[in-house]
Amino acid sequence: MATYPPGVGLPVHHHPSVGFNYILEGIAESQYVDEPILTFRAGDSYQDKANAQHLIFRNADRINPLKYLITYTTQKGQPFLMVP
């Protein structure tokens, strides 16, 4: 499980493998290159793309934390998130 404080996000990054996310609480915004910003709320799930530039992932709520489950399959010792 991951938790992001209000308004916090990640820098531009990519994932070496596909990931599955399930939003437990809060509001997440996500955007991949050449795609619109998508908004996810509690109960929503989505799939992270492998080897695609992930421009935005952030807690869109300025008051409440974002809590979500995240699952990746990677090779032993390989990170699930890479910052250029």
What pLDDT, on the 0 to 100 scale, is given for residue 81? 72
Query: What span, in angstroms and rounded, lies between the C-alpha atoms of 35 and 16?
Result: 19
Percentage above 90 pLDDT, the chain: 80
Confidence of residue 21 (pLDDT cuts 50, 70, 90): very high
pTM, two decimal places: 0.87
All structural domains of the chain with their residue ranges: 2-69
Q: Helix/strand/coil (H, E, C) string of the chain?
A: CEEECCCCECCCEEECCCEEEEEEECEEEEEECCCCCEEEECCCEEEECECCCEEEEEECCCCCCEEEEEEECCCCCCCCCECC
Q: Which CATH number fits domain 2-69: 3.40.640.10, 2.60.120.10, 3.40.50.2300, 2.30.33.40?
A: 2.60.120.10
Average pLDDT of the residues in 31-60: 96
Of the candidates 23, 16, 8, the one whose C-alpha atom is nearest the C-alpha of residue 57 is: 8
CA torsion angle 49 73 14 35 (round to 10): 10
